[in-house]
Amino acid sequence: MQVGFIGTGSIGTPMAINLNEDYPLIVHDVTREKATALLEKGAKWADSPKELAAQCDVIHTCLPGPKESIQVVLAEDGIIAGAKKGSVYIDHTTNSPELVRDISAKLNEQGVEMLDAPVSGGTEGARVKQLLLMVGGKESTYEKYKDVLSTMGDMIYTGAIGNGMISKITHNTASFCLSVAMMENWSIAIKAGLAPEKIVEVFQRAAIGRNSDIHSRLPNTLFQGKFDPIFALQVAKKDITLATDLAKSYGVPARVSELVLQEYIEAVNRGWGAFDSSIVLKLQEERSGVEVRLPKNPD
């Protein structure tokens, strides 16, 4: 099986190095110099995505974003111009789900399969084969090529093409939003007199550090629609009010916390104060027209 890899940047290079341990590799990037580490390990060079695709059974890309994907895949010298019938294209770029589905449809017309498989774990995870690959596409295609994917880390099969990208971008955005909220409250705490080293200790040892929401409450209560009080909404609203009042008294902006407080106020005004604070999920469900629930197990 001949494998190709396009995009030998900070994450792509260690991914490709791991692939190269088990499969012969052909590589391409904007400049040959970016692939030096792989060429020194025996990988071969292709002068264009088209040339690479014409020689490969499996074609991987790890690119900066949608703009680069359009160029690498759909241009005259792109992957689509060279890909062989029966080959597969696997995109590790953090990309637009709509673009991925469009590219997949165009490749399918030529008898080429596609998987979207963005990764989580960063450069260090790529080096030590501990990436998480969120894979979308036909399940039969995933099963056929999961041994290739496993050379780079662990995998979750997420369903139809584009679902890998949906998984990645929504996870990352939620993580970034949480980070901003924490940064905001760290600044409140420090200005109010708490030592930074104590913030580190508290955030590592309290609820956020234990990640109980993700590992326990997410599958067992939130996604079950169970809002029996673990931390009552009315108490949570009180806590957020205290923090935002503290921020005001020290002249610290708290825009994210103020937005969250408005959500909690609305939920309390619905008469949900005695339920668990996670019941604010129902507000988002109403606005989005989608219910966030795990499938029920058959009796």
Q: What is the spatial distance between Cα 266 and Cα 281, in angstroms, rounded to a whole number?
A: 12
Catalytic annotation present for 168:
yes
Which residues are 88's β-sheet partners? 58, 113
Q: What is the spatial distance between Cα 57 and Cα 5, in angstroms, rounded to a whole number?
A: 11
**Which is catalytic among the residues 168, 191, 198, 296?**
168
Q: Where is 52: in which H helix or E strand? A: helix 49-55
Cβ count within 10 A of residue 115: 28
CA 91 centroid distance within chain: 13
SS3 (DSSP) at 79 = helix
Please name the residues in contact with 222: beta carbons below 8 A apart, sequence gap of 6 or more: 213, 278, 281, 292
Q: What is the spatial distance between Cα 132 and Cα 149, in angstroms, rounded to a whole number?
A: 10
Contact 107, 113 (CB under 8 A): yes
| Tokens 């019938």, located at residue | 85
Q: Show which residues are catalytic.
A: 168
